[in-house]
Homo-oligomer: A and B are copies of this chain.
Amino acid sequence: DLPFVLIAGPCQMESRSHALETALALKDMCDKEGVGLIYKTSFDKANRTSVAGQRGVGLEAALPVFAEIRESLGIPVLTDVHNAGQCAPVAEAVDVLQIPAFLCRQTDLLLAAGATGRAINVKKGQFLAPWDMVNVAKKIESTGNDRVMLCERGASFGYNTLVTDMRSLPIMARTGCPVVFDATHSVQQPGGQGSSSGGQREFAPVLARAAVSIGVAAVFAEAHENPDCAPSDGPNMIPLAEMPEFIATLAAFDRLSKARPLHSL
């Protein structure tokens, strides 16, 4: 089995310079551990808890920055799309299209994303069982695109709380799709601060090392130099300064896990 890849970056693109600096910083950290990096950032936060939440720089401003990160820095880029019309233009500028969890059953979006031929990372809905993701993968694969990744990011557990069922990783792997573990959204507390979501960033490394020990293709983790001042997802992002240890630890567990793979289940 191949080593895990890190999908990381700030929740939303804040500016060109912030994007480039964060991408370079993460690239350096990953290089030191021999870990592959896919840079993640959003051009639009389309489902904020509150209408007052900051949404991001928007598609037009973001596309040239995505292109610059890919071409000048040589770092592959992932971003999320929110409607069918965005898929084709965004696919021009990035390597991986991501389907948000709330939208993981929207057929038109899945088909449009699939039709671009790009790799697709689908977040599992908080309302879905892991065995139901096979239907989601099949929707995308019906376009002839089989580059589908399935991503665990927590399941609804009572109100304002998510729980990560680690069994979902081997269950989703039965589809044959690479499985991604989203360490920072799995510790979100949806709506937990009234007009914004809370989070428990201290548990992101806990769940990430558990997932890597079980065996995943990639870990997704949002990171920011100053999460408490970030425009979104601050409570669950990992401070950039803690990322070197985060990456090194996961790399160590990943090596052990790949040397002792679980039997397929």
Contacts and interface: CB of A to CB of B under 8 A. Distances in A.
Contacts of A191: 128-129, 131-132, 135
A123 interface: no
A260 B187 CA distance: 21
Contacts of A211: 210
A129 B48 CA distance: 15
Contact of A47 (B107, B163, B167, B262): B107
Contacts of A102: 102-103, 105-106, 125, 127
A125 B217 CA distance: 30
A9 interface: no
A167 B165 CA distance: 11
Interface string A223-265: 0000000000000000000000000010011001100101001
A166 B167 contact: no
Interface in A36-71: 46-51, 55
Interface string A109-129: 001000000000000011111
Interface stretch (A12-20, A73-81, A88-96, A151-159): A151-159
Which 10 A-B residue pairs are closest in the complex by CB-CB distance? A158-B158, A210-B210, A129-B159, A156-B156, A213-B213, A132-B191, A47-B105, A51-B139, A126-B127, A157-B158
Contacts of A169: 206
A67 to B, nearest CB: 25
A46 B107 contact: yes
Contacts of A157: 157-159, 163, 165
A169 B209 CA distance: 13
Copies of this chain present in the complex amount to 4
A106 B50 contact: no
Nearest to A255: B256
Contacts of A50: 135, 138-139
A159 B156 contact: no
20 contacts: A46-B106, A48-B107, A51-B111, A102-B125, A102-B127, A103-B103, A103-B106, A129-B160, A156-B156, A158-B161, A163-B165, A164-B165, A164-B166, A166-B210, A167-B203, A167-B207, A202-B265, A206-B214, A210-B214, A213-B253
